[in-house]
Amino acid sequence: MTWLGIDLGDARVGLAMSDPELTLAHPIGNVQVYGDSFRALDDVIDIIEDEHIDRVIVGLPLQLDGTEGKSAKKARRWASNLAKRIGRLMEDGEIELDSAPEIELQDERLTTVSAHRQLYDANVAGRKHRPVVDQQSAVVILQSALDRNEH
């Protein structure tokens, strides 16, 4: 089994993948989206097909009080679009998957703060955070889901 973690952003969509044992998340890169995270859908579907992803964990950016704002609604739409597009491509025989991956939304409040702290702790210079913070946020989102899955 392999899971994919996704941190949706306006400039980049960060990606992380689990090991087959579902214990560790590691960064696998970013997709440049130039202000429209929906541009990442095709790249994400390619990864799902190529890596035989069983579950996709999409960060849900709730507000600090736990309510959903515009960003959370957009993340829900993005995850829904991903599921629909995978279903359609499977129906049309354009992608080969044994079954569609489960798509799950996960509260991602404070993951960017946590990602910046981890990068700082790893001695990554502050100005170098921006290109890697999205994928590190995806690692934090995915690792939280993996840790929750163990219990």
Complete edge-to-edge strand list for the sheet that includes strand 25-32: 25-32, 12-18, 3-7, 55-60, 102-107
Q: Residue 89: which of 57, 131, 136, 42 has the closest Cα?
A: 42
Instruction: With beta carbons less than 8 A apart as the criterion, state whether 139 and 30 touch.
Output: no
User: Hey, what domains does the chain have and what are their CATH numbers?
Assistant: 3-150 (3.30.420.140)
Q: What 3-state DSSP class applies to 130?
A: helix
CA 91 to chain centre: 24
Q: What is the DSSP string of 18-72?
A: E-TTSS-EEEEEEEE-TT-GGGGHHHHHHHHHHHT-SEEEEEE---TTS---HHH
The pLDDT value given to residue 110: 60
Predicted structure pTM score = 0.88
The pLDDT value given to residue 17: 98
The pLDDT value given to residue 10: 86
> How would you write the pLDDT of the chain (151 residues) with one tens digit per residue?
999 999 998 889 999 999 999 999 999 999 999 989 999 999 999 999 999 999 999 999 988 888 999 999 999 999 999 999 999 999 999 998 989 999 999 988 766 666 667 666 766 666 655 667 788 889 989 999 999 987 5
The pLDDT value given to residue 108: 84
Q: Is residue 50 classed exposed, middle or buried when 0-12, 13-18 and 19+ CB atoms within 10 A define those classes?
A: exposed
